[in-house]
Chains A and B, each alone.
Chain A
Amino acid sequence: MSVADHAPPFANRTDKRMWFERIPAVWWAVAAVLLLLPIVANSFWLFQVMGWTFILGMIGLSLMFLAGYGGMVSLLQMSIAGMAGYMVAILGPSGAAVSLGLPWWIVLPAAFVIAAIFATLSGALAVRTDGIYTIMITLAIAAAFFYFTRQNYSIFNGYSGFNLVLPPKLFGVNWRDPVPFYYLSLACAALCYGAVVYIARSPFGLALQGVRDNPRRMAALGFNVTAHRVAAYALASIFASTGGILLVWQNAQIAPGTIGISAAIDVLVVAVVGGLRRPLGPFIGAFIYVLLQVFSADTLGFFGFSADRFKLIIGIGFLAVVLFSPDGVLALWDRWRARTAARKAAETGGGP
């Protein structure tokens, strides 16, 4: 994994075209399709399929940011999203008596800040180790948080969690209606995506990638390796928190099951299946995951299996991806493009 692999396709500084001319046409087409989707799609697709894709994608994006640019595979991101979601439920209004019922303009910043503090503290523990140790420690922290929320009734309302957590009715719009929620989650996902692309090219992002590739050299150059890694956890918490808050609003509830071990592993599955090298990967992975889950009943029924075997399909698919294409679906696509380009070059007789 070198830095060059991660350079966005339109980061060429010598290119004198305007910024919007440098964005490939495919991206404009994708943007147009996403913006115009509510005209054709029904509310189930908008709310359940696409809304969930964006949410899962954002949480996966925060993992991709840490793993792809920082080299730290964290299983903590679902817990951070859950922490933000829980804070929205605890500080804001909900159906449970424990909630404080504060207004949204206090609740939302507080949720982000508390989740960021949680991420920074856990990150400070996790960055003391590297590689597989990080996976083990973040998994252990995530499990501790899950069991704690399940047993603590005074703050986290224990096993039952919170229900009736609804988004505030800003500007007279019910943000939980399918179309507004679709645009809300789309906008958040686009913002997070843009932020990751921007940060990856910023001095901080480049230093982080340097730390990933050769921490000793970066330390010798005067960079504070630990501080960069902890800062990456803090930054990634913003994307995870955005996803977590939207997740609570979409489900209108949060309970320990939302942040359980299997949910934490699902985020890893999503990010790895999509591809950990580019910010687009988690969204593609999330889309595949959501499609599989939503339509597993019909598909499995077609092959004569019970719909409960959804996890088996996910597990086998995940195994296939890690066994045959460690960099996810996006890498398969890259390989296919490289092969067709090579074939075309051979046909025209020109160089590569």
Chain B
Amino acid sequence: MDKFIARYPFWSLIIVLLVAVFLWLVLASWPPELVASWGRKQIFLNGLIGGITLGALYFLVAAGFTLIFGLMRVVNLAHGSLFLIGGYVGYEIAVASDSWLLAFPIVFVVVAIIGLLMQHFIFSKMEGEELRQTLVSIGLSIVFADLMLWWWGGQSYSILAPQFLQGPVQLPIVNTVNEATGAVTWLRYPAVRIWILAAAIVIGVAMWLVLNRTALGMLIRAGVDDREMLAASGVRVQLLFLIVFGFGAGLAGIAGIVGATFQSLSPGEDTRFLLSSLVVVIVGGMGSIVGAALGALIIGVAEQMGFLYAPTYSVVFTFLIMAAVLAFRPQGLLGTRR
């Protein structure tokens, strides 16, 4: 931190200014001139928090994607299918058992097993052949997409959040201040989204801790850096690959439940989430969990803000961010060049 300030005093100043302006925008009550040009503060705040919670969902999908890529060099283009399978299975369980929470562990296990089977029977047979793995995963995603269309049809499904998570919560952020009375209205936001955000943060921190503070994490990081050397030093790399693939797939699966709770699931959502995780890991840096979190946050907020303030060009914002990152840091914001 100190080093960064010493090396880039100009950029540090800009960053501090931006953070200050941002905090003021979030915390202060907006003066009428700003409201006149930008619209009500509530719209801005909704876009911001909507973006952050969407980012949490993107993180859940992209974290598994980037972990699998980082360790195994498999661009699993069937990752979006795992997301959609998780959502559909979660819907079935939530409807059958009438329990939203029960769906999470079951879906995690079911989708993790699908991932394990994919890794064991297909990807492990073509280690090092990146292009073939990519093509095979594309083939798998075509097959999965059609099987799901066959089974669940073309209509859209959404899962109802449980009773205790329905309705809004009040956030400690000022929405408006009544000029005459001085009464403060606080921002209210759907509780389920806030809880999902909290859960994503917990999962992210837990992943970071496992990766950086445990023996398993040490092996995984060693595998990311030099797979051959790790194998040569006697570690059962195939078992490690299975664990990581299963975990990443399971994460995509439970993200599917979250996606079905936030929005809805229908054919085509698999490619949408595959693409969002592609963009997220390209922006954040491939193989990096923190990068996935940062990328998910940036893309989620950009998408929601763009959707509110410039609906026609919202997709182009995401793309422009990706192009800008590629132009200046082809390895992604937090990626390392190999």
**Interface residue ranges, A against B (CB under 8 Å):** 73, 125, 128-129, 131-133, 135-137, 139-141, 143-144, 147-148, 151-153, 261-262, 265, 268-269, 272, 308-309, 311-312, 314-316, 318-319, 322-323, 326
CB B45 to nearest CB in A, in angstroms, measures 25
Given contacts A265-B138, A319-B139, A326-B135, 5 further A-B contacts (CB under 8 A): A125-B323, A129-B326, A144-B316, A312-B146, A322-B132
Contacts of B168-185 to chain A: CB distance below 8 A: none
Q: List 19 A-B contacts (CB under 8 A).
A: A128-B326, A128-B330, A131-B131, A132-B73, A133-B286, A135-B75, A137-B322, A140-B278, A141-B319, A143-B271, A148-B316, A151-B313, A153-B312, A261-B275, A265-B138, A265-B142, A312-B147, A312-B150, A318-B139
Residues of B within 8 Å of A314, CB to CB, are 142
Contact of A139 with B142 in the complex, beta carbons under 8 Å: no
Separation in Å of the A235 CB from the closest CB of chain B? 22
Inter-chain CA distance A147–B275, complex, in Å, is: 12
Instruction: Determine the distance from Cα of A336 to Cα of B327 in the docked complex, in whole angstroms.
Output: 46
Residues of B within 8 A of A268 (CB): 135, 138
Q: Are A139 and B131 in touch, CB under 8 angstroms?
A: no
Q: Are B146 and A144 in contact (CB under 8 A)?
A: no
Are B143 and A136 within 8 A (Cβ)?
Answer: no
A136 & B312 in contact (Cβ 8 Å cutoff): no
Contact flag A316-B143 (CB < 8 Å), given A129-B330, A261-B275, A265-B138: yes
Give the docked Cα–Cα distance between A147 and B279 (Å): 14
- Establish whether residues A143 and B146, one from each chain, have CB atoms under 8 Å apart when the complex forms: no
- Could you tell me the distance between the alpha carbons of A314 and B129 in the complex, rounded to whole angstroms? 23
- Assembled-state Cα–Cα distance A125/B328 (Å): 11
Closest residue of chain B to A311, judged by CB?
B146
The yes or no answer to B18 lying at the interface (CB within 8 A) is no
Judge whether A140 and B143 touch: CB under 8 Å: no
Instruction: Please encode chain B, from 10 to 38, with 1 for each CB lying within 8 Å of some chain A CB and 0 for all others.
Output: 00000000000000000000000000000
Partner of A315, one of B139, B282, B286: B139
Write the B306-338 contact mask toward A (1 if CB under 8 angstroms, else 0): 000001111110110011001100100000000
Q: Which of A141, A261, A312 contacts B271 (CB 8 A)?
A: A261
Asked whether A140 lies within 8 Å of B142 as measured between CB atoms, the reply is no
Q: Would A140 and B131 be within 8 Å (CB), given that A312-B147, A315-B146 are in contact?
A: no
User: Separation in Å of the B302 CB from the closest CB of chain A?
Assistant: 13
Give Cα A129–Cα B325 distance, bound, in whole angstroms. Answer: 12
Interface string of B114-130 (1 = CB under 8 A from A): 00000000100000011
Query: B106: CB under 8 A from chain A?
Result: no
Q: Which residue of B lies closest to A321 (CB)?
A: B139
Q: Is B224 an interface residue (CB 8 A)?
A: no
Q: How many B residues touch A, CB cutoff 8 Å?
A: 40
CA distance A269 to B141 in the complex (A): 12
Considering the complex of A and B, which 8 residue pairs feature the smallest CB-CB distances, nearest first? A315-B142, A144-B319, A319-B139, A147-B315, A315-B143, A312-B146, A311-B146, A322-B135
Residues of A within 8 A of B278 (CB): 136, 139-140
A131: shortest Cβ distance to chain B, in Å?
6
How distant is the Cα of A128 from the Cα of B139 in the complex, in angstroms?
A: 26
Q: Which residues of B contact A262 (CB under 8 A)?
A: 271
Question: A147 → chain B, closest Cβ, in Å?
Answer: 4
B145 at the interface (CB under 8 A from A): yes
B201 CB contacts on chain A under 8 angstroms: none
Beyond A135-B75, A144-B318, is A319–B140 a contact (Cβ under 8 Å)?
yes
- A140 & B282 in contact (Cβ 8 Å cutoff): yes
- Say whether B146 contacts A309, CB under 8 Å: yes
**Taking the nearest CB of chain B, how far is it from the CB of A72, in angstroms?**
11
In whole angstroms, how far apart are the Cα atoms of A135 and B139 in the complex?
14
> B85-129: which have CB < 8 Å to A?
122, 129
Q: How far is the CB of A212 from chain B (nearest CB, A)?
A: 12
Contacts of B203 in A (CB 8 A): none
Which residues of A lie under 8 Å from residue B271 when comparing CB positions? 143, 261-262
Q: Are B143 and A312 in contact (CB under 8 A)?
A: yes
Give the complex CA separation of A129 and B322 in angstroms.
13
Q: Does B196 contact A (CB under 8 A)?
A: no
B230 interfacial by beta-carbon distance below 8 Å: no
Contact A137 B282 (CB under 8 A): yes
**Cβ-defined contact, B315 with A144, below 8 A:** yes
B136 smallest CB distance to A (angstroms): 5
A125 and B327 contact, CB distance less than 8 A: yes
Interface status of B46 (Cβ within 8 A of chain A): no
Contact check, A140 vs B146: say whether CB atoms are below 8 A apart: no
Verify if B158 is at the interface (C-beta below 8 Å from A).
no
Q: Is the CB of A272 within 8 A of B135?
A: yes
Residue in A closest to B142 when the chains form the complex, CB atoms: A315
Task: Check if B134 is an interface residue, CB within 8 A of chain A.
Answer: yes
Residues in chain A near residue B322, CB distance under 8 A: 137, 140, 144
